[in-house]
Amino acid sequence: MDKTLAIGLAIQSEGLQYGWSASAWRLWKSGMSPKFGMRFILTFCFACASPTYAASPAKSPKAPATAVNVRTAVDLANACTVSPDSKANFARLNFCNGFAQGILQTNGQNPSGTKICLPRPSPKRSDTMKEFAVWVHADASRKDDVASVAFLRFMGERFPCT
């Protein structure tokens, strides 16, 4: 025998190769029969690789996704004025807050953007979004405006830089 045993990974008599542990090398080097070594290694591999069949806890059914489509000013106004009494409405309010924050931050990056000067201390976001909804519903021509454009126009009128 040329002192090479191959089981996916090779062990050579000169040393270890490719992740064999020192103890496995010593067992093989000590003259353990290849048949016993093969049995030991295969048993070890199967024990480590076999899946456990423990009882897993029952998973609760996943709640359906909430679709929030905001295209127009009235869509945004409606999403921003729901009461958070359900997961879907809570998702709508979170979307509204994130949408408004994103529009304001993007506008702030644009040197020629709408000039908005918030007072100190700043008003509560929920109050401002309720004012936006009232502003949208007060004039029917605003309802079909693009949500981001209408929101910036509202903010510019509500918090002008003077």
Q: Are strands 5-7 and 9-11 parallel, antiparallel or unpaired?
A: antiparallel
Q: Is the pLDDT at 66 greater than 70, yes or no?
A: yes
Task: Return d(Cα 112, Cα 136) in angstroms, integer.
Answer: 24
Task: Return d(Cα 147, Cα 156) in angstroms, integer.
Answer: 14
Task: Return d(Cα 96, Cα 75) in angstroms, integer.
Answer: 10
Q: Is the pLDDT at 92 greater than 80, yes or no?
A: yes
pTM over 0.85: no
User: How many Cα atoms occupy the beta-carbon half-sphere of 85 within 13 Å?
Assistant: 3
pLDDT band at 62, cuts 50/70/90?
confident
Task: Return d(Cα 46, Cα 7) in angstroms, integer.
Answer: 13
What pLDDT score does 68 carry? 81
pLDDT band at 69, cuts 50/70/90?
confident
